[in-house]
Every structure is written in structure tokens, then in C-alpha cells.
A = this chain, B = another copy of it.
Amino acid sequence: MKTEIKKILEDVAAGALTVDEAVLKLKLEPFVDLGYAKADLHRAVRQGVPEVIYGAGKTPAQIEGIVRAMRSRGQETVLVTRLSAEAAGELRGLEAFRYYPEARIGVIGTTPEPDGIGAVVVATGGTSDVPVAEEAAVTAECLGNRVIRLYDVGVAGLHRLLSHAEDIMSASVIIAVAGMEGALAGVIGGLADCPVVAVPTSVGYGASFGGLSALLSMLNSCASGVSVVNIDNGFGAGYFASMINHMEAKK
């Protein structure tokens, strides 16, 4: 940003830019204003990742409009999260569109080759947590990560988790997805020596209070190296894990 400003000022000093042009340029919006949304265009550059559209609460037409605006300006890959099967059906006309029904993610464009430090392990406490885990896994894959899935390894049957100790010990980053008691994150956090991203899920009933129980449990994890995202936020966990798994590429 600083360099951009400096460049503009140098152009002004050099007479290559009038003052009014400079003011305009400094205010130039790095997004297209579609009225109902302002589609970010420079994010791939600014944050080094494909652009993502949060699909919930948007009509298929709105989503399509945003996708087209992005693609027409050179965005390689676009993810649409929280995309219902019905809405996906209406987007099928988009070029290079594919839909992951369990993850409820639509992808437009190519999936990059894995280029992270290592593998991202996605583990779930139970079978019902799989949709959230898939949101995390597909997100991580679309962001260039190799993903290992360990589903239904909840702490009530510790042997199921321990039988995968090698995957856990060798992971670059682990996403622990669990509802109900949410103990999975802490147990994995104690076993692993890599960062653990915990995702509480709303799976459960009664005193799980829509994921509150798992959320609090994860926030209070006694293991070091655990951080937490919102309830059911598989996308956020996948995105965050990918950032960690691409750290070495940064410098």
C-alpha cells in the first residue's frame, strides 16, 4: 500500500499525473459495486487466495452476478460457501462449476495443486460432524492443501483416535471438528505438536445449546496450541489452516 501511494506521489511530482487524477486514483475502489454487493477484485493479490462468496442470504442471481464480475476481471478460482443444492442447481451454467453437496460448497475454476508445508488433517468426533468437516476439507483443498480425513474418532472411543496417531503426529496443522462435549480438540492438542484449529459444531441436543457446549469446551482447552473458530465455521477453519500450512512460502 505504502509503495502504491509513493508511486502515485512520484507520478504527481513528475507531472505524469495531475492532482485530480491522483486524488481519483487514491480513491479507486478495488471492487465492483453491484448495488447489493461490492465484489472484491484485488483480494487474490492482497491476501494470496481465491476469492470467496458467503452464499447464505444471497439469491442465485446475486451469486452469479458476483462470480461473473470476479471472473471477468481475471479471478482464477471462486468459492461459494453455504450454497444449498437448489441454488447450486441454478448455477450449473457457469463455466467450470462443480458442487460438493456434503460441504455445501460450489467451486468455479481450477483447484490448485497442493503446495503447502505438509498435510492438513481434518478430524471429527462423530459421523454427524462430517458436513462441517467437509466444508473445512474442501476449502483447504481448494486453497492448495493436501487433506487427510479422520472421521468419527471421538474421545469416547480413544482407541479409534490413537490408531491414527501417526497421522496426527505428522500433520502440519490439524482441524478438530466436534459437537456435544467438544473434547476432541483438547485431546488432539495434547497429542500433536502442530497448531490445532478447533471447530465446534451445532450437532447435539439438550444442553449442547446449539454448539455452545462444544464452543466453551474448546475455548477452555487445557492443551497449548489450540485456537477456535465460530460454531459450524468449517470454511474459516480450512482457510486458517491453509494460511498456517503455507507459512514457509511467505518469506
Q: CA of A73 to CA of B19 in the docked complex: distance in angstroms?
A: 31
Q: CA of A26 to CA of B23 in the docked complex: distance in angstroms?
A: 13
Q: Which of B10, B207, B227, B244 contacts A220 (CB 8 A)?
A: B207
Q: CA of A29 to CA of B163 in the docked complex: distance in angstroms?
A: 6
Size class of A's contact patch? 35 or more
Q: CA of A23 to CA of B152 in the docked complex: distance in angstroms?
A: 23
Q: CA of A57 to CA of B118 in the docked complex: distance in angstroms?
A: 32
Q: Quick one: given A56-B205, A213-B217, are A189 and B156 in contact (CB under 8 Å)?
A: yes
Copy number in this complex?
A: 8
Closest Cβ–Cβ distance, residue A62 to chain B (whole Å):
7
Q: CA of A237 to CA of B225 in the docked complex: distance in angstroms?
A: 8
Q: CA of A197 to CA of B225 in the docked complex: distance in angstroms?
A: 11
User: In the bound complex, do residue B236 and residue A224 qualify as a contact, i.e. CB atoms below 8 Å apart?
Assistant: yes
Q: Which of B30, B226, B230 contacts A206 (CB 8 A)?
A: B230
Instruction: List residues of chain A with CB under 8 Å of any chain B CB.
Output: 1-2, 5-6, 9-10, 12-13, 15, 18-19, 22-23, 26-27, 29-31, 35-38, 40, 46-49, 52, 54, 56-58, 62, 117-118, 125-128, 130, 151-160, 163, 165-166, 169, 172, 179-183, 186-187, 189-191, 193-195, 197, 200, 202-233, 235-237, 239-240, 243-245, 247-248, 250-251
